[in-house]
Every structure is written in C-alpha cells, then in structure tokens.
Amino acid sequence: MVDRSDFVIGFPRGDDPQSGTRYTLGHAARLGLPHLVLPV
C-alpha cells in the first residue's frame, strides 16, 4: 500500500529495526514519500 500512498504515518513501538512498522517507514523514505513517525 505504501507504493500507492502520498503520505505515510507510522506508530512504531520501540526501536526494533526489524519491526514491520520501521520497515514500512524506511520503504516510504527510500521512495521519497513524506512520512510521519509517532513513537508509542
């Protein structure tokens, strides 16, 4: 879904780089999409 989004919002829990949320936010960043990170 990130490939079709204009803006990505993520709510990661902790700093685990292997989490799906961190992966999705990283993918959005690599695509140059604006993204917002709101740690829980």
Amino acid (1-letter code) at residue 19: S
**Helix or strand run (H / E) with residue 25:** helix 20-30
pLDDT value at position 16? 86
- Strand partners for 37: 10
Long-range contacts: 23-29, Cβ < 8 Å, 24+? Answer: 27/2, 28/2
> Domain locations in the chain?
2-37
The CA distance from 7 to 19, in Å, is 19
- Per run of 10 residues, the mean pLDDT along the chain (length 40 residues) is 89 88 93 93
